[in-house]
Chains A and B, each alone.
Chain A
């Protein structure tokens, strides 16, 4: 792929006490692609996301976004630079309405200076447009905590969209969804790319990722054990070994 390198990690490492959760990961994500990251449970996928988005400081290594070092920056600064994320375990603001949840994210451009003291009413329309796109418009005024899990996953993505990022990190967005909902999710993720958003998609099940990702990186015990197109990865002996060796060989 000849396109621009959007996100690069070099030698990225994270130790939790004696446990090395992420081990010298070199990852290059190009603009415009859907980049899958797969690996068995505990492989270090979520930790990798936390390192990229500023929730954890790397023990070693660096993260570069659009040519700029971002490791060590706090999470909200990284959002401003253009990286949004979702959480593996959904975290809606349960007491706010679905619409307000999206508004909170849309407000990121208003959280500096006197912005917090300006009314949000004029931006409702933008938030509604996003809710329409993810199919939540008719539930806009319900408390977010009352949504079923499938809709809460959509809300996670809607909020990330409202941040208008260049790069979106989705942590197991298909977890807990029915087959039918996964079909809808695929459309949603492809829609993100059409909007010009580059996507990094974490999954521990292979099938979903195989379908929509151009490139896949496979992690095991914190290390990159394979990288390539879905076909290349699926036939890689190291990958087969890692998946057969682990309890959840479901993919």
Chain B
């Protein structure tokens, strides 16, 4: 394994960490289960690709536009969530994959099935970013995504989203405008997905409709569910496990879809809170161990 290879794996893993953090806002906090998150990712990637190849914008100049475009489209795509129940939302988000995929495939503006190629690599002070530089760039965005997520988890908005996500009737009685907070969740989540998309497009250098299909959505959801819905540590850990393990064990790479699907199903049945989620076996174990270290073994802390 060369350093270049490790950095490539690292860069993709970073992009998926941003995506799981993105989905964590929407599905972890606002409980709007999305099986169409790759569509939001794809919108970001295509927006970046078009701005770079057709408008000739640099990565840096395009990035704010990509974020605005994905946020606006994300809000628009989130509107059905105001009308349908949670179960139907799952179905309609599955539909999103196919709608967005079809738009990419059938409109010449988006390059059709030939995709968009020759997306330039970003430059940094006039010099193109190499593999090392791009890994560094991705890492910076992962850190930013983690920090902003940590901040958001401590805000009124997160509390309101969780309340509205769990029980709309009770949330309204707490003065929460449920529709507004659902739309906020779609907006914030889309903004992160847009950044992940731009990183992908400029790293790979090309975008194709099939990069952002239903199987990709399942991957992202499986990562988040595996790590722990509603937690930042879970989002990071899940993306790491499902992105790095298949790379390490090359044999199972061909069975990606199978693995993601199985992970999703198994976790939902046996550990719906995920490996590191609130109240999961590992989380409770870590808490016990931490208490033991802090208070000394054998001495039980109060409660």
Contacts and interface: CB of A to CB of B under 8 A. Distances in A.
Nearest to B230: A95
Interface in B2-35: none
Interface string A178-219: 000000000000000000000000000000000000000000
A76 interface: yes
A29 B6 CA distance: 71
B176 A76 contact: yes
Contacts of B174: 76, 79, 104-105, 107-108, 159, 163
Nearest to A110: B156
Contact of B173 (A84, A94, A95): A84
B155 A118 contact: yes
Which of A75, A92, A120 is most buried by chain B, counting CB atoms within 10 A of its CB?
A75
Contacts, number: 101
Nearest to B154: A119
Interface stretch (B51-59, B159-167, B241-249): B159-167
Contacts of B169: 55, 87, 91
A91 B167 contact: yes
A53 interface: yes
A251 interface: no
B37 to A, nearest CB: 21
Given A93-B166, A105-B174, A117-B156, 9 more contacts: A75-B172, A76-B172, A79-B172, A95-B230, A108-B175, A108-B176, A110-B156, A115-B156, A117-B155
Question: Which 8 A-B pairs rank lowest in CB-CB distance, beginning with the nearest?
Answer: A108-B175, A116-B157, A79-B175, A91-B170, A75-B172, A110-B156, A107-B156, A105-B174
26 contacts: A74-B177, A76-B172, A79-B175, A80-B175, A84-B173, A85-B173, A87-B173, A91-B167, A91-B173, A92-B170, A93-B163, A93-B171, A95-B166, A96-B166, A104-B159, A104-B171, A107-B156, A108-B175, A110-B156, A111-B156, A116-B184, A117-B156, A120-B155, A143-B278, A159-B173, A163-B174
